[in-house]
Structure 1
Amino acid sequence: MKIHRHPTFIKKGAVLIGNYDGVHIGHQQLIFDAKKHSSHITLVTFDPNPKDYFGQPFTYIQTMYDKLLALKSFGVDQVIILPFNHELSQLSSDQFEKDIIAPLQPEVLVVGEDFRYGRKRAGDITSLQKRFNVHVPKDVMYEDTKVSSTFCRQLLEDGNVDLANHLFGRPFHISGRVRHGQHLGRTLGYPTANLHAPHYPLSGIYAGHTILPDQSCHLSAISIGYRPMAPVPHGMLEAHLLDYDGDLYGQRIHVLFFKKIRDQIKLENFDALKIQMDKDVENIRDFFKKPTIFSN
């Protein structure tokens, strides 16, 4: 998959435009529909997310790195990451068409029903159809709710990883390079692989898997958040790999989430924390004894 930072024409094909945060099944449907029209798929996305740029309350579901991994896995051939800045935010819808879309020479544009573009979101599907061939698949629904990044983000915030994973079509995951922490887990008998996790919508203790660079997969007890027993100024992900002993510092790992076990809580002392962690690991082992759609 090729990655560019400005509109770059490589080959005529289908073009998609959007933030694609989480790359959920609604996004996947747009990609699959694009493949019906062309063998070459270009996706235009933005960094930062426009909501983040304009200072609106916003939490990313995933990093750009993880988003690109997902887009590659679903068959996108080229991703154009446009820096969302003052200049881009001030483009009129007409100028957006001329400067951003037209250089890609799309055979077809595939966008969602609520697609908007240009300054003050003035452009819509009707204006887009005046210049381009546009295909608009129907929204993907879960019961009566449109599957969207906002909906998926709220599910993660609520701890409903089960439903979020269903709407992602795969387990929610975070990747990163293992860094040194305070080694608190090791002193309690639970060494952890630590990832910097400053901005994610979920927190608590989770049952999950950790995938290592050699592609081995390990049952894991995962803590993510601000650690009330040993607070840090930024979010931290700590994965204790069950029945594993090895040096992971500096290596990129992928942590998959399957089930929320409990919230992060502040206990009276570290002895009480050790007892609670024993219970957590037992609950996680019990969880993985049961068949689930993703964990087996």
Structure 2
Amino acid sequence: MKGFCVALGLFDCVHKGHRKVLEEAVSIAEGNDLTAAAVTFDDESLGLLHKTQIYNLSTRKLLMQSVGIKEIFAYRFDEKLKKVAAIDFLKELARKGAKHFVFGCDYSCGSDRKTGKQVAKICNEIGVKSTIVPVLMIDGEKISSSRISKLLLDGNINAANAMLGQPFFISGTVIHGREVGRKMGFPTANVSYDGFTPKFGVYKTITCFDGKIYAGLTNIGSKPTFGIEAPSIENTLIGFDGDLYGKVLSIKFIGFLRPLIKFDSMDKLKLQIQKDMEDAKC
């Protein structure tokens, strides 16, 4: 059986810094006849670790696999694992076939929270090779999941996307809604989604489904003009005329256009939507 080159980390949103670690593991695996693998934690564990979950485990797996990771060890951060020291955790992975570990210099491992060179020293002691990947910076700022989460919650999509290394996206199934947009002449797709969302507002987005790509708008939040407080996600596709019910849409966020506004009349709302549509085409 082939051994593994294992990327160590939370990989809670697979941002640009995470990708650098994963890509290094893939490169080492390919050059040494190993299988590229990664360690992460399940969705419940991220909550226990007080981490904002930008992407769920299934999405994180897809993102890691897109880089070239072939095997993913997803752990549950339970009471037993909380007490496991770094050396014991790494030994367990070695027993599974780990021959080389790759991790960032700020990676923290085990109940004793060993980091960087300390982890490398343990690897040497147990006979497993290791590679430390430097922290990745953008404009002098460290890329981190917490920073990306804050940027998204502030509506700063451009800065968040720069740190992610690709547009932030959500995926959901189109369901029946109140058809408010359709009655106004702007049909929208109501998307069922219960994951992390950025700041409420109107966004320029790109939507993918069935191998097709459409520019458009996505409204996240309430509908103040109609007195509807319940938050929802409504997607408008430019140039699309058809039935989307039951379709799974992947929505990529490109830019924040404006906050939610309560308009005095339907005519003013229609004019604003027309302007939003033009802005989304740019």
Could you tell me the TM-score, scaled by structure 2's length?
0.86
TM alignment of 1:276-291, pairs within 5 A: 276-285=272-281, 287=282
The Cα of 1:49 is off from its aligned counterpart by: 5.9
Does structure 1 residue 37 correspond to structure 2 residue 37? Answer: no
1:208 to 183, 205, 208: 205
Against the structure 1 CA distance between its residues 154 and 252, is the aligned structure 2 distance closer, same or farther, given a 3 Å change threshold? Answer: same
For residues 76-103 of structure 1, give each alpha carbon's deviation from its aligned partner in whole angstroms, at most 9, with x where no partner exists. 111222223333333333442344x233
Indicate if the aligned counterparts of 1:205 and 1:222 stay in contact, CA closer than 8 A.
yes
User: Corresponding residue for 1:149?
Assistant: 145
For residues 38-85 of structure 1, give each alpha carbon's deviation from its aligned partner in whole angstroms, at most 9, with x where no partner exists. 12211111112645125x4x5322232322222121111112222233
Against the structure 1 CA distance between its residues 250 and 158, is the aligned structure 2 distance closer, same or farther, given a 3 Å change threshold? Answer: same
2:263 to 264, 267, 275: 267
Does structure 1 residue 61 correspond to structure 2 residue 57? Answer: no
The Cα of 1:203 is off from its aligned counterpart by: 2.8
Indicate if the aligned counterparts of 1:181 and 1:194 stay in contact, CA closer than 8 A.
yes
SS at match of 1:111: strand
Indicate if the aligned counterparts of 1:19 and 1:49 stay in contact, CA closer than 8 A.
no
SS at match of 1:265: coil
Indicate if the aligned counterparts of 2:5 and 2:99 stay in contact, CA closer than 8 A.
yes
**Within 1, Cα distance between the matches of 2:18 and 2:239?**
37
Indicate if the aligned counterparts of 1:161 and 1:260 stay in contact, CA closer than 8 A.
yes
Q: Which amino acid aligns with 1:88?
A: L
Q: Which amino acid aligns with 1:117?
A: C
User: Corresponding residue for 1:188?
Assistant: 184
**Within 1, Cα distance between the matches of 2:179 and 2:77?**
39
The Cα of 1:145 is off from its aligned counterpart by: 1.0
The Cα of 1:204 is off from its aligned counterpart by: 1.4
SS at match of 2:233: strand
Against the structure 1 CA distance between its residues 201 and 104, is the aligned structure 2 distance closer, same or farther, given a 3 Å change threshold? Answer: farther
Against the structure 1 CA distance between its residues 237 and 88, is the aligned structure 2 distance closer, same or farther, given a 3 Å change threshold? Answer: farther
Q: Which runs of 5+ in 1 are unaligned?
A: 1-9, 288-296
Against the structure 1 CA distance between its residues 90 and 190, is the aligned structure 2 distance closer, same or farther, given a 3 Å change threshold? Answer: farther
Q: Which moved more, 1:160-169 or 1:103-112?
A: 160-169
The Cα of 1:272 is off from its aligned counterpart by: 3.7
Against the structure 1 CA distance between its residues 191 and 86, is the aligned structure 2 distance closer, same or farther, given a 3 Å change threshold? Answer: farther
Could you tell me the TM-score, scaled by structure 1's length?
0.82
**Within 2, Cα distance between the matches of 1:51 and 1:64?**
10
Indicate if the aligned counterparts of 1:59 and 1:201 stay in contact, CA closer than 8 A.
no
Against the structure 1 CA distance between its residues 11 and 227, is the aligned structure 2 distance closer, same or farther, given a 3 Å change threshold? Answer: farther
Does structure 1 residue 254 correspond to structure 2 residue 245? Answer: no
**Within 1, Cα distance between the matches of 2:20 and 2:140?**
18
Against the structure 1 CA distance between its residues 231 and 37, is the aligned structure 2 distance closer, same or farther, given a 3 Å change threshold? Answer: same
Q: Which amino acid aligns with 1:86?
A: E
User: Corresponding residue for 2:5?
Assistant: 14
Poorly superposed stretches of 4+, deviation over 6 Å: none
**Within 1, Cα distance between the matches of 2:261 and 2:77?**
38
The Cα of 1:151 is off from its aligned counterpart by: 2.0
User: Corresponding residue for 1:79?
Assistant: 72
SS at match of 1:152: helix
**Within 1, Cα distance between the matches of 2:217 and 2:247?**
19
**Within 1, Cα distance between the matches of 2:103 and 2:157?**
27
**Within 1, Cα distance between the matches of 2:106 and 2:274?**
48
More helix by share: 2
User: Corresponding residue for 1:231?
Assistant: 229
Q: Which amino acid aligns with 1:24?
A: H
Q: Which amino acid aligns with 2:254?
A: F
**Within 1, Cα distance between the matches of 2:38 and 2:149?**
22
Q: Which runs of 5+ in 2 are unaligned?
A: none
1:165 to 142, 158, 161: 161
**Within 1, Cα distance between the matches of 2:139 and 2:74?**
33
The Cα of 1:209 is off from its aligned counterpart by: 1.1
**Within 1, Cα distance between the matches of 2:58 and 2:270?**
34
